[in-house]
Amino acid sequence: MRHNAAMLELAILGFLHDAPLHGYELRKRIAALTGHVKPVAESTLYPAIKRLEKAGLLARRTQPGAGAAPRHMLTLTAEGQAELRRRLAHPADADITDENRWFTVLAFLRHLEEPSAQAEVLERRMAFLRQPSSFFYEGDRPLRAEEVDDPFRRGILTVARATSQAELSWLRRTLDTLRAATDG
Amino acid sequence: MRHNAAMLELAILGFLHDAPLHGYELRKRIAALTGHVKPVAESTLYPAIKRLEKAGLLARRTQPGAGAAPRHMLTLTAEGQAELRRRLAHPADADITDENRWFTVLAFLRHLEEPSAQAEVLERRMAFLRQPSSFFYEGDRPLRAEEVDDPFRRGILTVARATSQAELSWLRRTLDTLRAATDG
DNA sequence: GTGCAATACATCGTTGTCGATGTATCGTCG
DNA sequence: CGACGATACATCGACAACGATGTATTGCAC
């Protein structure tokens, strides 16, 4: 289960948790979710479906094609639902640090039932965003935007800073709500 | 030259343009640049160096190791410099749309000599950020944060919006400066 | 004096990615 | 009626990613 694979599989499991879908429709939904940033090829999606099927996480029933060729309606099995929750509750480190992958986790995090489990995941992201890290260093010291001469590198730091602040403030608001839900 | 490979190769060429380095040092710089978001394994870096060497983009000279094992000092060849500029001037679409890859382009964009060539690349990013795209759709219409119920999906849209606004304003400022440099 | 971390590079095997290509049906436009 | 695009899925081959593992040296701490 390499880098992107985890993300793609998570998206498949997540979408199928909402409703049974066939591959082609799944493909369109994934394209809408991540396609404008990082498109997924058909020849990547179908093998991924097979992997998940082989692992018993989803089942397919062939239906006469509404439009054209026969459709393979895909349904999440009980194990599939359990696996989805496991992956959402305990994402790999790269799922927390890589924005693309993190957004995929967020897109399906509502499938975790416990607000406290959701909060735990958000807290991991918060810890990552809070640690002082840069893209450029002087020795071991992370450089701030003002200390970098190159305007393009300053841009990286400026944008990263704005993103991180916006996300931290959203995380704080959302965690407050989740904690209120747990206490109440 | 698949997905990540392009980004990794660009980083190698970019760092070597500044100064000759050996693989181990290269690895540390790449880790600083992108490692906290998306780490690169040693066993990915060394084959990448070999690919570039084989393509004649860089040359190596073996030196007695300062610390330990013999170092392979890597230098960018003339073709390597030309290739770096080519990749910077004409990035693939995914280099523009994927934030990780885009940041890598930005980190080395100063190696393009012409301010007008730099401006062209920034304009491609601006065009991408300006087109109305979401992560969630109702039919074909992109949904705004306020229209989405799920708090986590709202978070995605909120954060993406803040990033995109911060970056657009930085892009406008920087493009103004670049245009002033071209006119002046 | 020996284990351990850091330096520095390499290879191997498994798995994932993706472009190219193929197959088949249906609707529609001309 | 013939081309074309959308629907719907599949296979193949080349190549990239990466964990595991290996090799070899230096220096430091215990």
Helix (H) or strand (E) holding B75: strand B71-76
Whether residues A163 and B162 touch (CB distance < 8 A) is answered with yes
- Answer whether B157's CB lies under 8 Å from A165's CB: no
Q: Which residues of chain A have pLDDT under 70?
A: 1-2, 64-68, 184
pLDDT digits (tens, 9 = 90+) for B150-169: 999 999 999 999 999 999 99
Please tell me the predicted confidence (pLDDT) of residue B65. Answer: 57
d(CA A10, CA A132): 29
Tracing tokens 């394209």 back to the chain, one arrives at A31
d(CA B115, CA A45): 41
Using the CB atoms, write b or e for A45-62: b if 16+ within 10 Å.
beebbebbbeeebbebee
What residues contact A4, with CB distance under 8 A and at least 6 apart? A44, B3
d(CA B134, CA B156): 10
Instruction: Tell me phi and psi for residue A61, to 5 degrees.
Output: -125, 125
Show residues of chain B in contact with A4, CB under 8 Å: 3
Whether residues B151 and A177 touch (CB distance < 8 A) is answered with yes
Chain B residue closest in CA terms to A177: B151
Please tell me the predicted confidence (pLDDT) of residue B113. Answer: 94
Residue A60: CA count within 13 A, CB half-sphere: 16
Please tell me the predicted confidence (pLDDT) of residue B162. Answer: 96
Whether residues A155 and B167 touch (CB distance < 8 A) is answered with yes
B32 touches strand C (CB under 7 A): no
Question: Which strand C bases fall within 7 angstroms of a protein CB?
Answer: 6-13, 15-21, 23-27
pLDDT digits (tens, 9 = 90+) for B53-69: 999 999 999 876 555 66
Please tell me the predicted confidence (pLDDT) of residue A15. Answer: 97
A44 touches strand C (CB under 7 A): yes
Show residues of chain A in contact with B107, CB under 8 Å: 135, 152-153, 156
Whether residues A159 and B170 touch (CB distance < 8 A) is answered with yes
d(CA B24, CA A184): 53
Q: Which residues of chain B have pLDDT under 70?
A: 1-3, 64-69, 184
d(CA A48, CA A163): 32
Q: What letter does residue B146 receive in the DSSP assignment? A: G
Collapsed DSSP state (helix, strand, coil) of residue A22: strand
Of A94, A165, A174, the CB nearest to B155: A174
Instruction: Tell me phi and psi for residue A57, to 5 degrees.
Output: -90, -20
- Token readout for A4 is 């992107």
